[in-house]
């Protein structure tokens, strides 16, 4: 994962837990462009369905994580 550009809270979480973008794409079934936008664009918010998929996968790293930790 490249970290030269500004990251969102979601992007920083992935970096901190060494979660590869490609791994997340495979596990969630969400497209690369959407994941890229969520990592680098603070104005981008996932659909309800994509939020659910992402949080379900991230529970493996932190079972207490909620979508509000990344997106309001």
Structural domains of the chain, count? 1
Range of the domain at 33: 9-67
Of 1, 22, 23, the closest CA to residue 12 belongs to 1
First to last CA, the chain: 25
pLDDT of residue 2: 52
Residues 12-53 have pLDDT tens digits of 999 999 999 999 999 999 999 999 999 999 999 999 999 999
Q: Examine the pLDDT at 4 and tell me if it is beyond 60.
A: no
> What pLDDT, on the 0 to 100 scale, is given for residue 5?
64
Residue 21 counted as domain residue: yes
Please answer whether residues 20 and 49 qualify as being in contact, where contact means their C-beta atoms are separated by less than 8 angstroms: no
In angstroms, rounded to a whole number, what is the distance separating the alpha carbons of residues 47 and 63? 21
Please report, for residues 4, 19, 43, 51, 68, the alpha-carbon distance to residue 46 in angstroms, rounded to integers and kept in the order given.
23, 18, 10, 6, 12
CATH code for the domain in which residue 58 is found = 1.10.260
């Amino acid at each position: 994962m490249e970290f030269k550009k500004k990251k969102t809270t979601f992007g920083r979480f992935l970096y901190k837990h060494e979660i590869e973008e490609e791994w997340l794409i495979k596990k969630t079934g969400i497209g690369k462009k959407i994941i890229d936008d969520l990592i680098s664009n603070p104005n981008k918010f996932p659909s309800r369905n994509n939020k659910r998929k992402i949080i379900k996968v991230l529970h493996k790293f932190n079972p207490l994580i909620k979508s509000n930790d990344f997106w309001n």
